[in-house]
Amino acid sequence: MWTRSIGRMKYLGDYLEDYATLNFKFSTHKSDGTPIVLAGSPAVSVYKANNTTQSTAGITLSVDFDSVTGLNNVLIDLSADAFYAVANDYQVVITTGTVNSVSVVGTVLAHFSIENRNNKVNVVQLSGDTTAADNAEAFFDGTGYAGTNNVIPAVTTTGTVTNEVSANITKIGSSAQSMTDLKDFADTGYDPSTHKVQGVVLTDTTTDVTTKTGYSLSVTPPTAAAIADAICDEALSGHSTPGTVGIAITDTLGYSTATRTALTDIRAAALDRIVGTLATGTHNPQSGDAYGRIGINGAGLSALGDVRIAFLDASILSRSSHSAADVWTSATRTLSSFGTLVADIATAIWGAVARTITGGTITTNSDKTGYTVSTVSDKTGYSLSGTDLADIKAVTAKVDTALVADGGVYQFTANALELAPGGGSGGDATAANQTIIINSLTAAKGATFDTSTDSLEAIRNRGDAAWTTGGGMSGSNTITINVKDGSAVNIVGAWIEVWDSAGTSFIDKKQSNSSGNAVYNGDDGTYTIKMYKSGYSFTNQTIIVSGNTTANYTGTAFIITPPTDPTLCRVYTKLSGINNVYPSSATGTATIKRLPYDTGTIFVSSTVNGVYAPATGVIYWDLIQGANVQIMVGLFGIDASITVPVENTQLLNDLI
């Protein structure tokens, strides 16, 4: 439903070609003025002049703009396509969309033009003077003007300019850097007292000089003797970096003369011993096998190896002088491992033909699951839970007299049936009662009963469509039923039923279309019209058909009172009552799943029970705006999760 202000098309203006940000806004409302979302996969297109081809190029439609319900924004980029050209008018139209379930296709939102409003003006006078206008035209058309001679008079400058104009020049030739360079030159590169340029650099590049002819050093270089003296005079304490020649010299020179001599002798002797031993094995050898020379078989390390290998090769039995008999005759024997002893004993026991238990106690196993009782020829002394087998047999033997074999199937004997509960009468299942039942079914079928046409299955198959839509209405007359609300707005989706004149036999039903109409074909006669739709109430009507007939009826939209708390929204729904008759009771719950001020925590501990009014068929809940709620109404068949809008009232059907 649109408000009147939205219904008027507005002119947006005349735009330059390729203007990229043409935008405007429009609102959508329900019949009571409440803002509502533009739904139904909405889309907007643009028509050019009276051309039937529409375009969506460069168009962006934002529904609920800035999260404001019912506020919509349209942005058009006129540079997006050649469709947008100069000297044309354009219209912006909704090509897909619904408002409160009502189609708004074809609604013109606005129109604009592209360089199509530039009116030319023919100026014939300037300040009421026709000659002045002609002179201006002559001057600007290229012929020039200078009074009566059409010559531009000479421009003369007299006098002296006495006013100074202060200006901050930031660029030279559109270059800010050039102005900066000029300022630097004026500040430091020019001496006004001598009128000379300062600090001129003839070249910006330093090149290698390969020819030394003509060059001389400004200082005399040191001699070799001076360099040697400087090295010898250098203090040792200044050279302490590890790994350098300086530290090596420092370490060596730091010892006394006697120490350096002794170290030299020691190093020489050690080196000589190593070289001699490896080469000949005869340089001052030590005595004893442990210090034998390397490489002499049977001595030194080789001898040690032979002894150890001999021990490893020795037999384990050689390490004990005791026999097995000695071990078993010992008073105390400790086994560190049983090996397979236990398994061997168990195998031997269970493999024996006879096993006798001479001691111990066998406990009763209360759980008999998985146990079986083998056949025992002698039952003497055996009992099952205190009941002798003879007692069990006495009970089961009675079955023999009650059952008789009949072709491999057992059935009760006639004598057993006679003694059934009911004093031998057989209860309800007597032959007499069965005869009554059969006679009743025969009467119900009737004398002409035919299974192919009169069975319940045949009736169902033949009447599926008729049971849901009536037998259908046919005839030579066109009957049009139109429904509107109190504001003369067509009601879309209302069910309109046609009954007989008494209102007891259903004939046909249809839903009103986008024009609020439901059309039938029927014969002349009197019919009862019943109408219903959620959110509206209707009164049954009587229509007399004589030829083509049109009837207009009005439904009353239900208006609900908002809650007094402005932070709450009254969410409601209305049962579609027939002739304003509603159920006497209805229940529904709204479970809060999340509050708008929750910080990631699910809030599920609050449930609001619905308030039901049987007089109107309305049930409602007062809920916190912005909350996420699960609503369930069994009688209405509703189980839906919704977000409560920031409104005072809201029809539940518009949220699910």
Please list the residues that pair with 612 across neighbouring strands.
619
CB atoms within 10 A of CB 475: 13
Would you list the DSSP string of 42-80? EEEEEEETT-S-EE-TTEEEETTGGG-TTEEEEEE-TTS
Q: Please, which residues have CB within 8 angstroms of residue 656's CB and are 6 or more apart in sequence?
A: 638, 640, 642
Can you give 258-272 as a three-state secondary structure string?
HHHHHHHHHHHHHHH
Please report the pLDDT score of residue 129 as a whole number. Answer: 82
Look at residue 316 and tell me whether its pLDDT is greater than 50.
Answer: no
63 closest CA partner among 33, 42, 34:
42
- Given a cut of 70, is residue 377 above it in pLDDT? no
**Nearest 5°: phi and psi at 99?**
-125, 115
Residue type, 596: P
Task: Kindly state the percentage of the chain with pLDDT values over 70.
Answer: 60
Which one has a higher pLDDT value, 145 or 555? Answer: 555
The band of 418, judged by pLDDT with boundaries at 50, 70 and 90, is: low
What is the percent of the chain with per-residue pLDDT over 90, rounded to a whole number? Answer: 23
Mean pLDDT within 352-378: 56
AA letter at 108? V
Q: What Rg do the C-alpha atoms of the chain give, in angstroms? A: 59
pLDDT value at 111 more than 90: yes
Return the closest-CA partner of residue 570 out of 632, 651, 643.
651
Q: Which of 62, 66, 1 has its CA nearest to residue 35?
A: 1
pLDDT in tens, 276-302: 554 454 545 445 544 444 445 545 444
Give pLDDT, residue 317: 43
Mean pLDDT of 54-79: 94
pLDDT of 315:
44
6 vs 535, which has greater pLDDT?
A: 535
Judge residue 534's burial from the number of C-beta atoms within 10 Å of its C-beta, 0-12 exposed, 13-18 middle, 19 or more buried.
middle
Q: What is the pLDDT of residue 364?
A: 53
Sign of CA dihedral 382, 388, 390, 393: negative
Which positions ≥6 away from 115 have C-beta within 8 Å?
14, 15, 16, 17, 86, 87
* Dist CA 586 CA 572 (whole Å): 13
pLDDT at 448: 73
CB 614 within 8 A of CB 623: no
Whether 516 shows a pLDDT value over 50: the answer reads: yes
Question: What is the structure's pLDDT at 489?
Answer: 92
CB 593 within 8 A of CB 630: yes
pTM: 0.28
Better pLDDT: 315 or 377: 377
Q: CA 189, CA 182: separation in Å to the nearest integer? A: 10
Kind plus residue range of the DSSP H or E element containing 316: none
* 141-165 per-position pLDDT tens digit: 655 555 555 555 554 555 555 555 6
Q: 536 falls in which pLDDT band (50, 70, 90)?
A: confident
Residue 422: left if φ>0, alpha if ψ -120 to 50, beta else—which one? left
Q: What is the DSSP string of 224-268?
A: HHHHHHHHHTS-GGG---TTSHHHHHHHHHHS-HHHHHHHHHHHH
**Structural domains of the chain in order of their starting residue, each with its CATH number:** 4-114 (2.60.40), 241-302 (no CATH), 400-449 (no CATH), 469-557 (2.60.40.1120), 568-654 (2.60.40)
**pLDDT classification of 644: cutoffs 50, 70, 90:** very high
- 617, amino acid identity: G
Position with higher pLDDT, 43 vs 265: 43
Indicate the DSSP class of residue 496.
E
Least confident of 430-439, 461-470, 567-576: 461-470
Q: Do strands 549-554 and 649-651 pair parallel, antiparallel, or not at all (unpaired)?
A: unpaired
Other residues' Cβ atoms within 10 Å of the Cβ of residue 640: 13
Highest mean pLDDT among 225-234, 241-250, 462-471: 225-234
Average pLDDT, the chain: 74
Q: Between 387 and 14, whose confidence is greater?
A: 14
